[in-house]
A and B are shown apart, each in its own frame.
Chain A
């Protein structure tokens, strides 16, 4: 049975600089990186050494805790650098590309006669497994688990984030093939969340549950979709995949080679030519930034991911493994005299009607990274519920996470949430609470105490 869900609580933030519907093929990156911090809690065990020549799809490192989960090189190249931090922790692995990635020796894999276990092993050995994440905890799925369902969200509701419709229209066959592989891997419910009134090819995919969602952000968050369709109870696991990663799995089976394509929306108010770039996961950012017409002399912040959930990078850094959006914002390190007075400074929208911004619901804003205040004790109640469309009490859960009370966290629904579900609470909190940070710490506590 498919569902049609209306999301009421949430917030649409209109920002300037959404990427236009143009996909261009980015120049082949000179260097790519694999950043272990993209894979939460994975401790890398290196397989390659500096200077070693590797091919696309060769294993670079595997997870120390689970040797079956392997991380592979997205390009043919030479290991240029392994950047280490304190206690020799591996920060980043940089691979110099030597081009010529399409190798004709590989052939399409006939999945029809494979068993579920064989598909799983292929995904693990090819480096495709990290595409599959699990709830609870929002970490890479454990291959020995059996989930109760798989969820794929095919739309993004976060401000100026990549529109998966554009990305998937470009990779229809790969996506359809990926869905077939996943239903081979797993016999339970395969849920695809689409935006209401979407008429794309997604509606015609067979043997899956198509659920439609309608409403403001975070309607596109997979966690919200799981909560309304098949909520996670204690002890249960649900697997989730990014929309383009389903296509990446499909591509691997269609071509036989691991090629983690990333169609990247470069967006944000300071971007002159916001559009999509088709490149590879971990690609260097400098060429793309130059091409999008971003003036690097401005004091800017580059964000791997959307403006609500991404992480900060420098312009000479690399694209992350999962994100489809590179957001660019102006840094907001300026003072505003008496900026707290209500009904002035209408250029920043607010969930409270203490500015006149609510009069112009369709106006697009040029927000910067100013905190617009300082962190304070939790005083105002009821504001979190306005942007949190789950039957979970967000403030009470946050407080228990701060206190580290595992039993209460469990009963209040920690298994159902991921940091990204709290991103609008970050945004709208009048006490400037760092909700995503608190939830991530709470989840990590659950992993170490409960597992």
Chain B
């Protein structure tokens, strides 16, 4: 193993007691990316499962790829189909790639730089969580958002959303949605309206496009799209959120491998479906009478529920809590869409809201478990304080 020997030689100055000891987490992150380390079990069980955090995170990235590729395609497709020029599949993908690849690069460079810095500063290993967050952030942005805004949102999300709470595993809000919420409130003109959802819409005449939810919120129900378009995803929207089909493929990967919580996904769909049906019966404004099945397919609902709501750190952590959390995410998503025309896209705020309440949900689930144990003995726990 020549590569291995080379790495071991390079690693020498980072070893304990050596010159660059402090920077060992940064080097280890790269080393363990190449090789699963030779660590053996020290305490406890002598054999260990093949799964580690790297593998779970890479599985999520695999699940994201269909939506990402479709997002790249749709970016080009929306642009060229409105221009009325001849175009090929290659043109479409090239146009999408030139827009999206730099965003991903900025997101990873800024985010990982901060993560590495904190790992060195705090003296712990680099956690893999950002691999997913870093890909999610560009995927939920409008395509024309300036790169510096992406960088700033990423920095905000990692500093305030994650490291301020103690780093990976401690954050209350989903970091990717924190980035989007930051951009949404800091630069609303780049994040909403009818000029941001299709590539170059603000620069080229003849190109425009509003999201379906945006049209409905302004009372316009002359939708040029069929439900099949909404399902396949050839509609304007944030980069990777549009195709329900691709998100479903990702959901299958997550559920099949056991990495994503099917309870949260199913709970959210049930919550949104019931709320949607109730509003369909009522039907006072355009969004209320918008069919509940369409509600599940448009906007970021599917993407948010599958990839954001299931973030294990910011979601509810108990089994029962996950059901309740999921149901409420679905309910609030439709509620916000219908009742607040300023935020036609409800799923971001619904998930962030439930992130805040997830610990409360867990608290009551835990309390009921504790109470069950107390009732069993029918006598009070001896207070030792």
A residues with a Cβ closer than 8 A to B are 13, 15, 159, 231, 233-236, 301, 303, 307-310, 312, 327, 329, 331-342, 345, 348-355, 357, 367-382, 385, 391-393, 395-396, 406-407, 410-413, 419, 423-424, 426-432, 434-437, 449-450
Contact = CB atoms under 8 A, between A and B. Distances in A.
Contacts of B313: 379, 381
Contact of A353 (B258, B372, B385): B258
Contact of B55 (A13, A342, A407, A427): A342
A417 to B, nearest CB: 12
B58 to A, nearest CB: 6
A432 B318 contact: no
A329 B47 contact: yes
Given A348-B50, A423-B44, A424-B45, 7 more contacts: A337-B34, A339-B36, A374-B37, A377-B168, A391-B369, A431-B52, A449-B384
A16 B37 CA distance: 24
B51 A351 contact: yes
Given A378-B169, A379-B168, A412-B366, A354 B39 contact: no
A265 to B, nearest CB: 16
Given A335-B37, A345-B50, A411-B370, A374 B377 contact: no
Contacts of B58: 340-342
9 contacts: A350-B50, A351-B51, A353-B257, A370-B41, A372-B51, A373-B51, A377-B169, A379-B313, A434-B43
A335 B127 contact: no
Given A233-B379, A339-B36, A342-B62, A406 B45 contact: no
B56 A430 contact: yes
B125 A430 contact: no
Most buried by B among A231, A235, A350, A423: A350
B53 interface: yes
Interface string B368-384: 01101110110101111
B365 to A, nearest CB: 8
B256 A373 contact: no
A180 to B, nearest CB: 31
A353 B256 contact: yes
Most buried by A among B36, B45, B54, B312: B45
Most buried by A among B4, B169, B322, B383: B169
Given A234-B381, A369-B40, A372-B36, A381 B45 contact: no
B167 interface: yes
Contact of B44 (A234, A340, A382, A435): A435
A350 B319 contact: no
B204 interface: no
A370 B259 contact: no
A357 B257 CA distance: 12
A310 B197 CA distance: 59
A370 B55 contact: no
B366 to A, nearest CB: 6
A218 to B, nearest CB: 12
A360 to B, nearest CB: 14
Interface residues of B, number: 64
A234 B384 CA distance: 11
Contacts of B385: 407
A437 B43 CA distance: 7
B54 A340 contact: yes
B49 interface: yes
Contacts of B40: 301, 331-333, 369-371
A373 B53 contact: yes
A231 B377 CA distance: 9
Given A374-B39, A377-B127, A407-B385, A233 B52 contact: no
B38 A334 contact: yes
Contact of A410 (B1, B258, B369, B381): B381
A221 to B, nearest CB: 13
Contacts of B41: 369-371
Nearest to B62: A342
Contact of B46 (A303, A379, A396): A303
Contacts of B125: 374-376
Nearest to B377: A233
B51 A354 contact: yes
B30 to A, nearest CB: 13
A303 B47 CA distance: 11
B38 A370 contact: yes
A377 B312 contact: no
A307 B49 CA distance: 13
A411 B369 CA distance: 9
Nearest to B1: A335
Interface string B114-151: 00000000000101110000000000000000000000
B170 interface: yes
A379 B127 contact: yes
Given A352-B257, A370-B38, A382-B319, A423 B45 contact: yes
B55 A340 contact: yes
A25 B12 CA distance: 51
Contact of A430 (B53, B376, B382): B53
A62 B43 CA distance: 28
B315 interface: yes
Contact of A335 (B35, B45, B376, B384): B35
B169 A391 contact: no
B97 interface: no
B310 to A, nearest CB: 10
A426 B44 contact: yes
B312 A381 contact: yes
B59 interface: yes
Nearest to B47: A367
A350 B259 CA distance: 12
Interface in B330-384: 366, 369-370, 372-374, 376-377, 379, 381-384
A274 to B, nearest CB: 16
A336 B37 CA distance: 7
B301 to A, nearest CB: 23
Nearest to B261: A382
Most buried by B among A234, A412, A423, A450: A234
A355 B257 CA distance: 9
B48 interface: yes
Contacts of A410: 381, 384
